[in-house]
């Protein structure tokens, strides 16, 4: 029984409508047949009630009938084949006369029948029965079609339409955290399935959009964080030039050196800004390794450290024995400046930097005499932009 029910539920809307219409037609025919039969019985009961009261006037073989219309009614004279009158009767105008012809010879009259006049109640009842017989077929068929349409809507359309309306309202409210499920394989089931696919696609697009927005926030935070240190370095060089140039206390070579250093930092900032505007994720930053002279790199890092540390004590240890490294100087400078700026922010007074090599790696250690991370904060220290309260 369950399989039959599932198969019926899986029928197409068109096939289901045809089945409902055929069933409605069959039921309408049965109801019409029953009602018409009942009405006909009632009509025949009235007829049989008065049939014994009818007056019958036989007409002789080859006889004829003459009708004379008088003020009081119609006079019927019956004659035989010789022209002799054999019977006569008068019928009032509110009565009716039925002529019965011979079955073997349809041209000859067998008899005249005068049925009795119905009572007012029976006449009214007969009229009502006749009207009901006329109206039975259209009324029953229209009613069956209405019931068919109602049942068809309730069984095949109501539930999926309500589900789709509820889903539409949720989508309009930007609520995609739901599942649209309709257990049927008909057209409405396929429509619900298509709507569910659209919902999943919208939900995935929303998640992707939020992911991109969060990634953009990370990029903006990293961008603003990484710009702070180079700007501080530039500010330090500019302050030194502004304080020294009016007194002519710096040789021209040093002034040119400071300007070149500032130009290099500006070029670095331009490259960094261009790279960040093209990035979609922090993880997409490309590392470009190039040969870099160790002494030049360490000297530039120490110079930057001297400007960033300001009035705090800076201790630098260099155990690198010359040579060259193959690394991305820009990435190394950004990481070093971030480490150093954090040390400057949290140090009490002393900051210590160590440059060394380990196997094939160039290592930079930055330490300070600040409070450091707590045990709980140390577990979260690798999270982007984490700051312990």
Please report, for the domain that includes residue 344, its CATH number: 3.30.565.10
pLDDT of residue 288: 82
Q: In what order do the strands lie in the sheet with 98-101?
A: 55-58, 109-114, 98-101
Tokens of 388: 């312990």
Q: Cβ–Cβ contacts within 10 Å for residue 33, how many?
A: 12
Q: Select from 286, 307, 340 the last residue of a domain.
A: 286
Measured between alpha carbons, how far is 155 from 255 in angstroms, rounded to an integer? 90
Asked if residue 299 and residue 386 are part of one domain, the reply reads yes
Same domain, 173 and 47: no
Phi, psi (degrees; rounded to nearest 5) at 29: -65, -45
Q: Using alpha carbons only, what angle is made at residue 3 by residues 148 and 156, rounded to the nearest 5 degrees?
A: 30
Q: Are residues 171 and 193 in the same domain?
A: yes
24 and 142, same domain (yes or no): yes
Instruction: Tell me, yes or no, whether 86 and 153 share the same domain.
Output: no
pLDDT at residue 143, as a whole number: 93
Q: What's the confidence (pLDDT) of residue 30?
A: 95
How far is residue 177's CA from residue 175's CA, in Å, rounded to a whole number? 6
Q: What is the CATH number of the domain that holds 194?
A: 1.10.8
Write out the residue range of the structural domain in which residue 181 sits: 164-205
pLDDT at 389: 59
- Asked whether the beta carbons of 81 and 65 are under 8 A apart, the reply is no
* Pair (277, 302) in one structural domain: no
Residue labelled with tokens 């304080």: 243
**270: Cα separation from own chain's centroid:** 47
Q: Who's near 26: CB < 8 A, 6+ residues apart?
A: none
Number of domains in the chain: 5
26 and 155 housed in the same domain: yes
pLDDT attached to residue 384? 60
Q: Does 59 share its domain with 108?
A: yes
Same domain for 300 and 223: no
Shared domain check, 386 and 313? yes
pLDDT of residue 39: 92
10-residue stretch averages of pLDDT, the chain, 389 residues long: 62 86 93 94 85 84 89 90 90 85 84 84 89 93 93 88 90 86 83 90 87 76 68 73 69 74 74 64 70 86 82 86 82 83 85 86 88 75 62
Q: Which of 163, 197, 228 is the last residue of a domain?
A: 163
Secondary structure of the chain in HEC code, one letter for each residue: CHHHHHHHHCCCHHHHHHHHHHHHHHHHHHHHHHHHHHHHHHHHHHHHHHHCCCEEEECCCCCEEEEEECCCCEEEEEECCCCCEEEEEEECCCCCCEEEECCCCCCCEEEEEECCCCCHHHHHHHHHHHHHHHHHHHHHHHHHHHHHHHHHHHHHHHHHHHHHHHHHHHHHCCCCCCCCCCCCCCHHHHHHHHHHHHHHHHHHHHHHHHHHHHHHHHHHHHHHHHHHHHHHHHHHHHHHHHHHCCCCCCCHHHHHHHHHHHHHHHHHHHHHHHHHHHCCCHHHCCCCCEEEEHHHHHHHHHHHHHHHHCCCEEEEEECCCCCEEEECHHHHHHHHHHHHHHHHHHCCCEEEEEEEEECCEEEEEEEECCCCCCHHHHHCCCCCCCCCC
CA torsion 126-131-136-142 (nearest 10°) is: -160
Residues 93 and 218 in one domain: no
Q: State the sign of the Cα–Cα–Cα–Cα dihedral 256, 262, 265, 266.
A: negative
- Considering the domain architecture, whether residues 109 and 60 belong to the same structural domain is answered as yes
């Amino acid at each position: 029984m369950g399989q039959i029910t599932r198969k019926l539920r899986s029928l197409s809307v068109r096939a289901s409508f045809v089945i409902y219409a055929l069933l409605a037609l069959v039921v309408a025919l049965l109801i019409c047949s029953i009602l018409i039969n009942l009405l006909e019985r009632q009509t025949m009961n009235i007829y049989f009630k008065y049939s014994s009261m009818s007056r019958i006037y036989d007409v002789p073989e080859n006889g004829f009938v003459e009708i004379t219309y008088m003020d009081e009614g119609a006079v019927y004279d019956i004659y035989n084949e010789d022209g002799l009158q054999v019977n006569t009767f008068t019928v009032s105008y509110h009565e009716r006369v039925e002529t019965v012809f011979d079955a073997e010879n349809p041209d000859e009259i067998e008899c005249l029948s005068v049925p009795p006049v119905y009572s007012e109640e029976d006449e009214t009842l007969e009229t009502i029965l006749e009207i009901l017989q006329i109206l039975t077929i259209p009324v029953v068929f229209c009613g069956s079609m209405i019931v068919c349409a109602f049942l068809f809507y309730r069984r095949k359309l109501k539930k999926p339409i309500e589900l789709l309306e509820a889903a539409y309202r949720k989508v309009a409210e930007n609520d995609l955290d739901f599942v649209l499920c309709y257990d049927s394989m008909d057209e409405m089931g396929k429509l619900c399935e298509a709507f569910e696919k659209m919902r999943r696609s919208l939900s995935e697009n929303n998640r992707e959009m939020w992911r991109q927005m969060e990634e953009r926030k990370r990029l903006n935070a990293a961008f603003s964080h990484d710009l702070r240190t180079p700007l501080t370095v530039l500010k330090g060089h500019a302050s030194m030039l502004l304080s020294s140039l009016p007194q002519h206390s710096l040789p021209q070579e040093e002034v040119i050196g400071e300007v070149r250093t500032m130009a290099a930092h500006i070029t670095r900032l331009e490259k960094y800004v261009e790279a960040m505007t093209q990035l979609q994720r922090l993880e997409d930053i490309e590392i470009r390794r190039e040969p870099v002279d160790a002494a030049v790199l360490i000297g530039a890092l120490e110079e930057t450290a001297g400007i960033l540390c300001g009035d705090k004590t800076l201790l630098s240890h260099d155990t690198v024995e010359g040579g060259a490294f193959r690394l991305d100087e820009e990435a190394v400078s950004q990481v070093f400046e971030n480490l150093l700026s954090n040390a400057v922010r949290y140090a009490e007074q002393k900051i210590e930097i160590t440059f060394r090599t380990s196997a094939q790696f160039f290592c930079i250690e930055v330490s300070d005499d600040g409070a450091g991370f707590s045990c709980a904060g140390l577990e979260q220290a690798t999270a982007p932009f984490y700051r312990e309260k």
